[in-house]
């Protein structure tokens, strides 16, 4: 079952080292005021094999209604993601990754401001249409089977029990079968900072906070990781409500990205309507 993602970036792991840092904290060193930077976070993750849902209709644009759509999942709405925006974020930079060169991704972006209430209207901010380039990112995806009863989380370190190779878990995709509680979970995991080639069908050790939590966390079903590629082409269709988006779309095998002024929004609703390859939407607040 796909996820309803509420990503909270306050105290979490920094993606560049497997963990996200505290966001927007000011530190004074001598006479210099410095800001602690936040890492890139995965705001949305989609698989090519999944059926995508439609953009939200006008009558569906409140937070409660979106949550009801996700719960009912009548038209694949379980694939909608809700990202809780940290209070220190005034704006966000967005990038996209995809496994297949030339793979296309389209994200419909909606923003909402609760203002202390549990429900509110959400505004359609615009559409992001990405095309993956040929520049390989540092993110990788691998299929796993035989998941044990210990469920790994973002920031855990894995070590191949045969190869000795290591990587940091960035996110867990939806399970394709089984359950962690039953010890037979299967699905995909996204890594970063992998040290080399894993051996096919090897088990892995999972470590958290420098402690080995389980020696046989799960089994890699593939020989090696599949690399994600950065989207190098981006077309933004911004609505009048938020026309301040700045866009970089180099189309030269470097990374495309956009910046959105969040205008005090509390959360972002992300609806992926096109998924031509396994892909991820990434964000970095500032």
Structure confidence at residue 237 (pLDDT): 93
- Torsion-angle region of 76 (φ positive above 0: left; ψ -120 to 50: alpha; else: beta): left
Tokens of 261: 């002024």
Structure confidence at residue 30 (pLDDT): 54
- 94 with 257: CB under 8 angstroms? yes
Structure confidence at residue 61 (pLDDT): 97
- pLDDT above 50: residue 112: yes
Q: What angle do CA 235, 237, 240 make, to 5 degrees?
A: 150
Predicted confidence band of residue 13 (pLDDT cuts 50, 70, 90): very low
- pLDDT above 80: residue 11: no
Q: What is the DSSP string of 185-250?
A: EEEEEEEES--SPPPTT-BEEEEETTEEEES---EE-SSSPEEEEEEEEEEEEE-GGG---EEE--
Q: What angle do CA 95, 101, 102 make, to 5 degrees?
A: 80
**Strand-pair partners of 264:** none
Q: Choose between 68 and 194: higher pLDDT.
A: 68
Gyration radius of the chain's alpha carbons: 19
Predicted confidence band of residue 208 (pLDDT cuts 50, 70, 90): very high
Query: Which residue reads 């190869």 in tokens?
Result: 163
**Strand-pair partners of 48:** none
**Strand-pair partners of 145:** 219
- pLDDT above 70: residue 25: no
- pLDDT above 50: residue 221: yes
Rounded percentage of the chain residues whose pLDDT exceeds 90 = 66
pLDDT digits (tens, 9 = 90+) for 147-202: 988 999 999 999 999 999 999 999 887 788 999 989 899 999 999 988 988 999 99
What is the chain's mean pLDDT, rounded? Answer: 86
Neighbours of 139 (CB within 10 A): 25
- pLDDT above 50: residue 9: no
Q: What domains can be seen in the chain, in order of their start residue?
A: 15-133+234-285 (no CATH), 137-227 (2.40.30)
Residue ranges of alpha helices (H) inside 43-132 are 63-72
């Amino acid at each position: 079952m796909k996820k309803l993602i509420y990503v909270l970036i306050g105290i979490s792991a920094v993606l560049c080292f497997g963990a996200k840092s505290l966001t927007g904290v000011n530190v004074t060193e001598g006479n210099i005021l410095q800001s602690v930077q936040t890492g890139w976070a995965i705001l949305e993750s989609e698989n090519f094999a999944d059926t995508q849902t439609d953009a939200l209709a006008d009558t569906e644009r409140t937070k409660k209604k979106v949550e009801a759509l996700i719960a009912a999942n009548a038209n694949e709405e379980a694939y909608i993601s809700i990202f809780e925006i940290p209070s220190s974020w005034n704006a966000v930079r967005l990038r996209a990754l995809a496994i297949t060169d030339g793979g296309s991704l389209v994200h419909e972006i909606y923003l909402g401001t609760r203002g202390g209430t549990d429900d509110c209207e959400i505004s359609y901010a615009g559409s992001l249409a990405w095309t993956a380039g040929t520049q390989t990112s540092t993110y990788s995806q691998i299929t796993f089977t035989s998941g044990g009863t210990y469920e790994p989380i973002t920031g855990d370190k894995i070590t191949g029990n045969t190869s000795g190779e290591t990587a940091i878990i960035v996110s867990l995709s939806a399970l394709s079968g089984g359950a962690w509680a039953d010890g037979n979970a299967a699905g995909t995991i996204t890594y970063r900072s992998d040290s080399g080639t894993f051996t096919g069908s090897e088990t892995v050790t999972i470590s958290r906070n420098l402690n080995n939590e389980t020696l046989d966390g799960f089994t890699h079903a593939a020989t090696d990781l599949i690399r994600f590629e950065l989207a190098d082409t981006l077309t933004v269709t911004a609505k009048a409500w938020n026309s301040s988006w700045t866009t970089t779309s180099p189309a030269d095998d470097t990374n495309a990205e956009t910046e959105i002024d969040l205008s005090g929004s509390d959360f972002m609703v992300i609806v992926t309507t096109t998924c031509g390859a396994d892909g991820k939407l990434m964000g970095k607040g500032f």
